[in-house]
Structure 1
């Protein structure tokens, strides 16, 4: 399980929160009544009461005038973005602080004026229709397999983003058709796309954890250079499901190495991969470490041979990250491409 930072440590102590308990409870009661009213009107099918219990006080401390209906909407949207179920039915009680951390990060992105919400930057990209971050823009927080659904297909010339984002020439991450790939990584990083990739992106997705910037993660891809189907993980994985014997490229983030094995349950030949390609640092001290391996055979393994992944380095063989077309690097980010 990922160790989440204590997102509320900058807030008041438990004692101080208790002193304001009556006011918060009153506000929460209003929110519950609003939810029940929405349910009776059939405006949504699943009531996010447990998430509201966790997020309500936090939201109210930072946005005291936020209407109850907007609060309900934000919690529903947070649930969709974070994949935390609205009713939290599968979450053990000891994950309460973790979920609060997720919520804090989400709110930091949604309400930038709430500067007193601590926590790391979550992943996002703000794409612009002109260079120098000019023109109309759209914000993306999730994978988008078809940018035409956002009205920005073949219409991106610059970005401002946090995380490692991969922009593909074709829909569905170049799964059906080979095409150009432009990758950008960084923390609050702005850049223009290279001339040959402007107004060309048709799909986009990120590498790593969607909420925790530098979490220890792995992404494996069906196609070379991070194309096609993908599987993401944060823990040891003894089998790879639909990508068993189908892995052609790998990306890892965080501070830990990983060992990929040619046998299930961590058997067979093993090779260690590390997040050692990029090391981005923000002025405030946030960091992003990424390792990209665009072709599995450069690890010294046969194509389509990986069957399990284990955290840490359990092999004497260590792979060298891919030497992709790396074009520009700043202290807080950079970019490169494949096939331009």
Structure 2
């Protein structure tokens, strides 16, 4: 499987159903100046290389909706020196930190085309870098992503349980998203779940483990307005 490809476990009709029910789609606007001024480029889908759009290394401020990750390098690379997280259930704006301005080369959102649709995204590398695998339902094995997960992102109000073994066996951890004004999301690393790296082999929707980890939106480390982390693994 292509490392950059997202594998969706339900038919595309589910995306259509979510949108038909009036869900809010993730959107991000990139601006060439601070305070949402200058030229603007509107994003509604993942972009692995902004150079293809003529908007590489020019972003200084952003506005949008949803849970987004912005990377210094193309292809959501683990070698990016920063990965910036933007999270908002309503249209909001922010300036990038001075060290991140004119450096964004790729970006993508977590979840589906409805920011409230319950999803779990598995990422190959630290800080939501590398390949990703989108989960929408109970999955007793991960043939294309077995023992490859380092970080996790949840959208929607549902908890998710991950297991070290196939068929929901072995060590497990339940991830419960935090709430922001009726909107739910969360981001975790394997170490925050007290699990080993690259061990997840199956996933269940809901909380089915005695070990429960709720995402804390009040934590400075997890504050989306200031989250800037070192890439790599």
TM-score (ref. length: structure 1)? 0.60
Work out whether 1:325 is the aligned partner of 2:221. Answer: yes
The CA distance in 1 between the partners of 2:148 and 2:17, in whole Å, is 36
| Structure 1: gaps spanning 5 or more residues | 1-82, 106-118, 282-286, 329-333
The CA distance in 2 between the partners of 1:259 and 1:236, in whole Å, is 9
The CA distance in 2 between the partners of 1:101 and 1:237, in whole Å, is 21
C-alpha displacement of 1:120: 2.9
C-alpha displacement of 1:271: 0.8
| Structure 2: gaps spanning 5 or more residues | 1-7
Match of 1:299 among 181, 193, 218: 193
Higher strand share: 2
Partner of residue 183, structure 2: 288
Are the equivalent residues in 2 in contact too, given 1:326–1:337 (CA < 8 A)? Answer: no
Tell me which structure has the larger Cα radius of gyration: 1
Are the equivalent residues in 1 in contact too, given 2:72–2:82 (CA < 8 A)? Answer: yes
Higher helix share: 1
Are the equivalent residues in 2 in contact too, given 1:181–1:338 (CA < 8 A)? Answer: yes
Match of 1:135 among 18, 38, 56: 38
Partner of residue 85, structure 2: 183
Distance 1:101 1:206, change over 3 A: closer
The CA distance in 1 between the partners of 2:222 and 2:154, in whole Å, is 17
Alpha-carbon RMSD across the aligned residues, in angstroms, is: 2.4
Partner of residue 62, structure 2: 159
Higher relative contact order (CA 8 A, sep 6+): 2
User: Secondary structure of 2:103's partner?
Assistant: coil
Partner of residue 3, structure 1: none
The CA distance in 2 between the partners of 1:129 and 1:213, in whole Å, is 26
Figure out how many residues of one structure are paired with residues of the other and give that number. Answer: 219
The CA distance in 2 between the partners of 1:142 and 1:198, in whole Å, is 21
The CA distance in 2 between the partners of 1:326 and 1:266, in whole Å, is 29
Match of 1:218 among 101, 111, 120: 120
The CA distance in 2 between the partners of 1:204 and 1:219, in whole Å, is 15
TM-score (ref. length: structure 2)? 0.86
